[in-house]
Structure 1
Amino acid sequence: MVKAYTCICCNKRAKPKDRRPLTDTVKNYLRRVLPAVDPTDSDVICFQCRVKSYKNAPKPRQCSDNISNDPDFQPQPSTSRQPFSPLSITLQIPSTIRSHSRCFICKRPGPKLISLPADGRLSAFIDHNIIISADSRCCPSHVYEGTLTETALKDMKTITETSQMNRTGVNDLLQKIRKLYQQQSRHLNFDNLSDADCQSLTKLNRAQFEDLYNHLFDKIKNTPNRSIKTSIGIFLCKLCSGMSNRLLSTIFGITKSSIRRAVSTVRHAFMRGFVPLYLGIDSVTRESLINEHTKPLAKKLFGNQEERLILVLDGTYIYINKSNNFQFQRRSFSLHKGRPLVKPMVVVTTTGHFLTKVGPYMSDGKNNDAAILNHMLKTNIDDIRGLLREGDVFVVDRGFRDALPLLKDLGINAEMPAIMQKGENN
């Protein structure tokens, strides 16, 4: 029977190449950190624990007789590390396994496993009460922007009911929580913002902000630096004020890279969970547009009190910076405005309800309002022709005059300000 050599310090089986006999330095170290252990000459220690013992062993102070006899000599504080602390503290907090060879979530073997960043481990502890060891590794597909995905947290199979930590680990965890609290208490935080401040920063009152939060809370994750509400607040502040990421970083007390991630995350969340419900032809029915989003005055003026769909179309501008791409720079420069821009086409009802937005298009001469409307109807963008019926009304300006023949062929009435004939006066 082969004798199993276990390390006296960590109780792991030591391989032949990693076994080391106990020296006097190691014995003294073990007696100091493990009072219950009485090392003998027959015991062995693994290579890792032996290195830790030598690193944490007290170093003798070397000083000359002249210094030691000097009455003004003041001993300098020790700068050596804290002694190695074994896993002797048990916490009633769930934890994951410690493994480099298998994913601690799905138990798949390596080799392409990664370590979860410190911010991701702290976020898992704060949001889900799970301690993840720094020695644990997982598949890259379980991590998004430095934190675990919601699917990974739900599918986690390797969780124990208790956690084994040492004094250093507990101290580091407390310091990180303390630092996080100080950051959140000193800077702007939307979790406890007043109604007046919320209105000033986002143009939404507190009730409207909470309603928006209810649409997006399951599509955005908390991070150690910002909560879900703070991420939404950063995005709305960026839209309302146009402040730079550097200024937002100072106001919210987080880095510029975190500001960029917050804006990108919330923008994608809006496109998944908010925009499809309130913008687009599929978000509303034709009957609802006629009965709820058409003013009586518009029906009287353009609809002859009939059940007709009345839409208002107009192109708008989004100003952009000058591009380094010469072709894009040339097509995006507007001779009318004298600066680069792009042109989206907006379709609204007479009550101001946004039905859809098409584009943006380039601002050169090929994309005037009439050309954009012709492109919309010919290519049937967003299935707009499926919503229209013969006799519906488009309220447009004179920039759409070249699109009137196509509207007439489709049976759509175009209401446009009258164009004076040559030689006429007001």
Structure 2
Amino acid sequence: MDFGFGPDDEAFRTEARRWLAAHLAGGHEGVHGRGRPGSEHEAVAERRAWERELGRGGWIGLGWDSDAYGNRRATLTQQVVWAEEYARARAPGRCGHIGENLLAPTLLAYGSEEQRAEFLPPIARGEALWCQGYSEPDAGSDLAGVRTRAVRDGDTYAVTGQKIWTSLAREADWCFVLARTEEGARGHRGLSFLLVPMDQPGRVEVRPIRQLTGTSEFNEVFFDGARARAAHVVGGEGQGWRVAMGLLGFERGVSTLAQQIGFAQELASVVREAVATGAVRDAVVRERLERSWAELRVMRWNALRTLGGGAGGGSAIAAGAPSVAKLLWGRWHQRLGELAVLVRGAAGAVGPADWSARAPYELDEAQRLHLFTRADTLYGGSDEVQRNIIAERVLGLPREARGPR
């Protein structure tokens, strides 16, 4: 492994830490710790203002392979530093991360210069928010089964279909949509990657999905003849599968280390609760807490090794690294959610003691963590799919048999 922080990185860390401390206290105090996974519905207007603050500070687009769009570039180690300091400062969950970390690298890799010039500067300024139109009711993990259609009509496409589990759809200005543009095509063929504006009353409808936690981070999106310009097809018509898979490759990277900082904060909270309730005196609970700490360290070392290019084994291993990381953190986080309630005993299963302070049955932080983490092994690619990827692309095992569509 060749991944370490040098003097320039530590100077960058000092700059990032000071900027965050000053600006989070400079009129953005109310967003501290808000809008994280499980509570992405919180303080949306304030977090949008925070995105613009990040843009003015030059903190958006650090990982892009070009600095021609109003963004500020940083080295890989500096990107890690920024992600870690952002998490340590308990800065708010990013509502612009889909545009910055998914769409922007995709446009840099597959888009035209006109598309980059149109869409990247607003992302760098923190002004344009994006959502992802991939999953459908019958095409989640099996993404090649999408049925949303886009029919060419002059210099536009008419997009019709349904997407589901769409984060930030109510707030987003744009959605990148995987749709079928070739009549009769199936599987990976005949798909295109379109950029669709969300502000189309009567043609785009967003319906929140209420979850176990009582909140609605995810949404259904219905397209009824929604318009997308032909100039906004990324990579060319019929090349959607290639572009979509390229985008998924950008999904897990530096952000994994920042995620682990958040995990460490959650684990520390669970440990404090175990000490306060006396649950830590139980040998089984204590062993589970110790194991959680050790496994979190392993995840960090694995992420550093992957970022440092030290995984070994060539391109096949590199292709499987994101799936390994997803398998590691998904189940780990579920176990932490279980521990968060377990260490509180019977009190972990009931509502707040002070009913005057909160509405009856409103979840506290530990209960929300427990319920939200039940989805960790499903969203972002289910465990079953990640194991298939590792088996087929890394180990070279035969592909799983699939029936006719």
TM range (shorter): under 0.3
- Higher-helix-fraction structure: 2
* TM-score (structure 1 length as normaliser): 0.21
